[in-house]
């Protein structure tokens, strides 16, 4: 149980850390993309404003003091010198007047004009063409329009570089946090583990302490009946003593399983035969309530698990179905092989489904109807015992309702032998 709590703590903490890291990395990369694109747009407008002419940009003395942490932004002259671009001029009718490819060596004049014509007649003011981003606007000198194409290879490299670096840093931080969370998990769950351990120890000690007075009460009641005869008070004492004894046995079983002391021995046995014998044991109770029993048990199905555990689990499910099935109702027991799994279904009709989520039915001492549960002799921990049995055999139990008046348990066993119990229904 402590290991399960530790795994849940680590899983939950790492899930939160993963989400936080992803959000941070996403914000960093999005901010980098937005800043880089803004710089590109600013450069395009600056070049277009100067008609792509070098002589239109004058060098500006850098009077700002050099920054120790943040470099001062480039002036227009430096930006012009460091940019790879070409410019194509159009007349008022869309004909190419001139083109300037002196600021780039990666494209010919014909290719530049072909890209410019496509951009001109695309109807867009700005856009992308391969590794270039372009801006179309009216020429500031002369008539017509001009298109400026700026090489953004460096911008793309910046995206990839920041993405890779941030991903590596994020992965490193995630690994460091995993080590930290794992080392912290034992300390974090220690108060809960100690509290659970005290509860289980209390149940175990109380169970052993109550055994002796219960035995004395039962023996003294029987002795009293020998001298004074049986009466309704002595019968009530014996009934409640037996009930309390059964309750303590169930609690002790739960405590032992949660402590990991009842693992059982795994053997290969006939699942089909075990189920047939278990159903036969409840035949009298089924006939008394005039319940329609439908059996569909495929022969020759074996299972690798603890036999006594499986007998008790099947008994809990059948007892639950019989107790809560309505008069003249229906119980269906089906066992079949489905691919790599053996599937057992035990379902019954009931007068009214509980008004709580199905998973709530596995809570210890939960009672949908306390008066009815006591009348039927239940303790309210039958499904808790079944769940503990499943967990002791590497399994799990869930629950769901079917329709408006039917509850179905589904018990699945994997082909490799590890028990996995999945209940599609309840108490």
Residues 94-117: pLDDT tens digits?
888 888 888 888 889 999 989 999
- Model confidence at 17: pLDDT above 90: yes
Query: Which residue, chain included where needed, has tokens 């606007």?
Result: 137
Give the count of beta carbons closer than 10 Å to the beta carbon of residue 28: 16
What is the arithmetic mean of pLDDT over 175-184?
A: 91
The DSSP letter of residue 361 is: G
**Phi, psi angle pair for 47, to nearest 5°:** -65, -45
Please, which pLDDT band fits residue 197 given cuts at 50, 70 and 90? confident
Cβ-contact 346, 332 below 8 angstroms: yes
Burial 262-292 (b: 16+ CB within 10 A, else e): beeebeebebbebbeebbeebeeebeeeebe
Distance CA(122)–CA(132), nearest Å, equals 15
Distance CA(18)–CA(424), nearest Å, equals 33
Structure confidence at residue 376 (pLDDT): 53
Give the count of beta carbons closer than 10 Å to the beta carbon of residue 26: 11
Cβ-contact 126, 135 below 8 angstroms: yes
Distance CA(293)–CA(345), nearest Å, equals 13
Please, which pLDDT band fits residue 56 given cuts at 50, 70 and 90? low
Q: Which of 256-260, 292-296, 368-372, 407-411 has the lowest mean pLDDT?
A: 368-372
Structure confidence at residue 371 (pLDDT): 43
Distance CA(297)–CA(318), nearest Å, equals 14
Structure confidence at residue 264 (pLDDT): 62
Strands 292-297 and 330-338: parallel
- Model confidence at 379: pLDDT above 50: yes
Higher pLDDT, 2 or 378: 2
Q: Which of 70-74, 189-193, 346-350 has the lowest mean pLDDT?
A: 70-74
Please, which pLDDT band fits residue 372 given cuts at 50, 70 and 90? very low
pLDDT digits (tens, 9 = 90+) for 138-165: 887 777 888 999 988 888 888 888 999 9
Closest CA to 265 of 393, 144, 121: 393
- Model confidence at 426: pLDDT above 50: no
77: helix, strand or coil:
helix
Structure confidence at residue 427 (pLDDT): 44
Distance CA(60)–CA(243), nearest Å, equals 98
What is the arithmetic mean of pLDDT over 55-80?
A: 60
Both tokens of 62, joined, read 């850098």
- Please tell me whether the overall predicted TM-score, pTM, comes out greater than 0.75 for this model: no
Distances (CA, A) of 100 to 95, 104, 117, 249: 15, 9, 14, 94
* Summary mean pLDDT of the chain: 80
Both tokens of 135, joined, read 């801006």
- Model confidence at 411: pLDDT above 70: yes
What is the arithmetic mean of pLDDT over 155-177?
A: 90
Closest CA to 254 of 212, 296, 201, 293: 201
Highest mean pLDDT pick, 126-135, 234-243, 255-264? 126-135
CA torsion through residues 108, 110, 113, 118, sign: negative
pLDDT digits (tens, 9 = 90+) for 243-300: 787 777 777 777 666 665 555 678 888 889 999 999 998 988 899 889 999 999 999 8
408: helix, strand or coil:
strand
Distance CA(128)–CA(150), nearest Å, equals 10
Structure confidence at residue 366 (pLDDT): 65
Task: Return the biggest CA–CA distance within the chain.
Answer: 129
User: Of all residues in the chain, what percent carry a pLDDT higher than 90?
Assistant: 15
Both tokens of 311, joined, read 């007998």
């Amino acid at each position: 149980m402590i290991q399960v709590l530790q795994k849940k703590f680590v899983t939950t903490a790492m899930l939160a850390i993963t989400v936080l890291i992803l959000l941070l990395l996403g914000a960093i990369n999005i901010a980098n993309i937005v800043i880089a694109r803004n710089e590109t747009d600013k450069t395009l407008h600056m070049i277009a404003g100067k008609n792509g002419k070098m002589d239109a940009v004058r060098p500006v003395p850098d009077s700002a003091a050099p920054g120790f942490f943040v470099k001062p932004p480039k002036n227009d002259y430096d930006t012009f010198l460091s940019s790879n671009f070409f410019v194509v001029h159009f007349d008022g009718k869309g004909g190419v007047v001139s083109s300037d490819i002196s600021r780039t060596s990666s494209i010919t004049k014909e290719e530049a004009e072909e890209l410019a014509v496509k951009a001109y007649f695309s109807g867009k003011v700005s856009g992308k063409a391969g590794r270039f981003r372009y801006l179309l606007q009216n020429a500031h000198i002369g008539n017509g329009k001009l298109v400026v194409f700026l090489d953004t290879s460096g911008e793309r490299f910046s995206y990839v570089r920041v993405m890779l670096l941030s991903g590596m840093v994020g992965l490193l931080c995630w690994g460091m946090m995993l080590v930290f969370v794992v080392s912290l998990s034992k300390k974090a769950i220690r108060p809960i583990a100690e509290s659970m351990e005290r509860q289980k120890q209390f149940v175990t000690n109380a169970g052993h302490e109550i055994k002796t007075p219960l035995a004395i009460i039962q023996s003294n009641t029987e002795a009293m009946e020998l001298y004074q005869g049986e009466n309704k008070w002595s019968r009530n004492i014996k009934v409640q003593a037996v009930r309390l004894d059964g309750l303590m046995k169930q609690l002790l079983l739960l405590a032992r399983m949660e402590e990991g002391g009842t693992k059982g021995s795994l053997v290969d046995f006939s699942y089909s035969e075990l189920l047939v014998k278990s159903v036969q044991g409840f035949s009298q109770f089924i006939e008394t309530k005039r319940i329609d029993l439908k059996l569909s048990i495929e022969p020759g199905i074996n299972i690798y698990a603890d036999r006594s555990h499986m007998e008790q689990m099947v008994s809990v499910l059948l007892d639950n179905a019989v107790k809560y099935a309505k008069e003249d109702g229906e119980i269906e027991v089906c066992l079949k092989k489905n691919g790599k799994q053996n599937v057992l279904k035990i379902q019954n009709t009931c007068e009214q489904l509980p008004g709580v989520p199905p998973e709530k039915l596995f809570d210890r001492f939960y009672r949908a109807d306390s008066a009815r549960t006591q009348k039927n002799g239940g303790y309210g921990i039958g499904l808790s015992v079944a769940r503990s049995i499943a967990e002791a055999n590497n399994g799990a139990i869930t629950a769901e309702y079917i329709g408006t008046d039917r509850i179905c348990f589904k018990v699945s066993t994997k082909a490799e032998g590890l028990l996995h119990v999945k209940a599609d229904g309840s108490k």
